[in-house]
Amino acid sequence: MLADSVIVVDEVHSFDRNLFSALKQFLKTFSVPVLCMTASLTEMRIQDLKERGLQVFPADPNQFAELKEAADMPRYQVRVLGGIEEAQAVVKRSLDSERRVLWVVNRLDPCQELAQRLGALCYHSRFKLEDRHKKQNEVIALFKQSEQRGFAVTTQVCEMSLDLDAQLLISETSPITSLIQRMGRCNRHAKPGDGKLGKVYLYRPGSIKPYRQEDLEGLDQFLKAIDGEIISQTGLQELLQQFGPREVDVEKYAAFLECGPWAVARENSLVEEQDWTVQAILDDDLGRYFELRRERKPIDGLIVPVPRGTAFQDRRVGRFLRVAPSSHYSPEYGFFRQPVERGK
């Protein structure tokens, strides 16, 4: 399959060190066409990819004058807040004047809690696939219109390929590359000369999870540099090069390449929590699951990722799936760690 393929690797900025190491080893091992895409990347990682045969495109940004003009224009007005209480106050006074508000948090449990408390759309990864498709389309549709008020609380899944254009963005602090990516969901369709600025409010969460301290290298200096400023996409990239991680990404064990015929993926990234999740079927969906299996139809829409401790094994669904209690699930807010009241 690889021999006849062109490989596209998207959102490279979001890779942790293990996953980025696996990418480098893949590039070194396979001689196939590869396109790596990202909105922002540290100079050290750019150099790593160049050493493995990739070329920066465009080599000269001036060849694409319109793109350069859009990157250089003032786009964001940034303020660093003292905490979540200030963030909630900003939302309450801004929902009437700012029609599209996006709030991004780093962990899934606070996402559900905030969305319930503030009456916002809730979007994260812990939905049944059929419900997640609906929620994603609902969020995208809400942020495309301009008349109706749009307010969503999401985890960092919003960073990945969602075309959202918020007028006001509130975000917990995170690694610099992730913050830049989140800011790209604010004032996204601005054009040079229109004078529009997206409002960005950042605050520190109570815990750095799911990130590690080394993931947040340079964050304090970055926040100090943008607090109270009006800044462009180019300015953000320059600050990333100035304050981004300096530590060399050492190549690590890559299970896909090194574990022989029994390939097991150990590289784990792009997660909202540090605890492991498992793929499960809700117990209320078992009837539909068995019916679809008998009819040889896909069962993917019923699968929901849940925390490992909330699911149990059931031989009827095979060894690769587990069963989770429907009492923990809400179509509006996803799967909770604890039972929820029906109708929520």
Residues 124, 136: contact at Cβ < 8 Å? no
What are the Cα distances from residue 36, in Å, to 11, 15, 104, 143, 184? 8, 12, 25, 28, 18
Q: Which pair of structure tokens corresponds to residue 339?
A: 């039972």
d(CA 194, CA 213): 39
- pLDDT for 132-175, tens place per residue? 999 999 998 888 866 678 899 999 888 876 788 899 999 999 99
| 274: pLDDT strictly greater than 70 | no
Q: Mean pLDDT over residues 216-238, rounded?
A: 95
Number of Cβ within 10 Å of residue 150's Cβ equals: 24
What is Dmax (Cα atoms) for the chain? 62
Q: Mean pLDDT over residues 283-307, rounded?
A: 96
Pairs from 204-209 (Cβ < 8 Å, separation ≥ 24): 204/83, 204/172, 204/173, 205/84, 205/105, 205/106, 205/107, 205/110, 205/172, 205/173, 206/84, 207/107, 209/106, 209/107, 209/273, 209/274
Q: Mean pLDDT over residues 64-91, rounded?
A: 93
Q: How confident is the model at residue 269 (pLDDT cuts 50, 70, 90)?
A: very low
d(CA 254, CA 232): 37
- Label residue 122 left, alpha or beta by phi (over 0 means left) and psi (-120 to 50 means alpha): beta
Q: pLDDT above 70 covers what percent of the chain?
A: 89
d(CA 127, CA 84): 25
State the pLDDT at residue 319.
87
The single residue listed with the structure tokens 């905030």 is: 114
**Comma-separated ranges of CATH 3.40.50.300 domains in the chain:** 65-243
State the pLDDT at residue 95.
81
Which range among 40-54, 301-315, 321-335 shows the weakest confidence by mean pLDDT?
40-54
d(CA 39, CA 43): 13
Q: Which pair of structure tokens corresponds to residue 10?
A: 């998207």
What are the Cα distances from residue 3, in Å, to 7, 9, 31, 51? 10, 16, 8, 22
Which range among 82-86, 274-278, 297-301 shows the weakest confidence by mean pLDDT?
274-278
Q: How confident is the model at residue 220 (pLDDT cuts 50, 70, 90)?
A: very high
In this predicted model, which residue has the larger pLDDT, 196 or 159? 196
Computed on alpha carbons and rounded to an integer, the radius of gyration of the chain in Å comes to 21
Q: How confident is the model at residue 16 (pLDDT cuts 50, 70, 90)?
A: confident
| 254: pLDDT strictly greater than 80 | no
* For residue 175, cis peptide bond before it (omega within 30 degrees of 0): no
The single residue listed with the structure tokens 């750095």 is: 208
| 123: pLDDT strictly greater than 90 | yes
Residues 6+ apart with CB under 8 A from 218: 176, 242, 243, 244, 245
State the pLDDT at residue 341.
75
- pLDDT for 30-54, tens place per residue? 989 999 998 788 888 999 999 999 9
Q: How confident is the model at residue 267 (pLDDT cuts 50, 70, 90)?
A: very low
Number of Cβ within 10 Å of residue 181's Cβ equals: 23
Q: Which pair of structure tokens corresponds to residue 135?
A: 């929620």
Q: Mean pLDDT over residues 76-93, rounded?
A: 95
Report the range out of 97-101, 282-286, 340-344 with the highest average pLDDT.
282-286
φ and ψ at residue 9, rounded to 5 degrees: -110, 110
Q: Mean pLDDT over residues 229-235, rounded?
A: 95
| 246: pLDDT strictly greater than 90 | no
Q: Which of 52, 54, 15 is nearest to 36 (CA)?
A: 54
Q: How confident is the model at residue 251 (pLDDT cuts 50, 70, 90)?
A: low
Residues 151, 97: contact at Cβ < 8 Å? no
Residues 114, 153: contact at Cβ < 8 Å? yes
Give 65-243's CATH code, choosing from 3.30.1330.10, 3.20.20.10, 3.40.50.300, 3.30.450.20: 3.40.50.300
| 294: pLDDT strictly greater than 70 | yes
In this predicted model, which residue has the larger pLDDT, 329 or 256? 329
Average pLDDT, the chain: 88
Q: Which pair of structure tokens corresponds to residue 174?
A: 């995170």
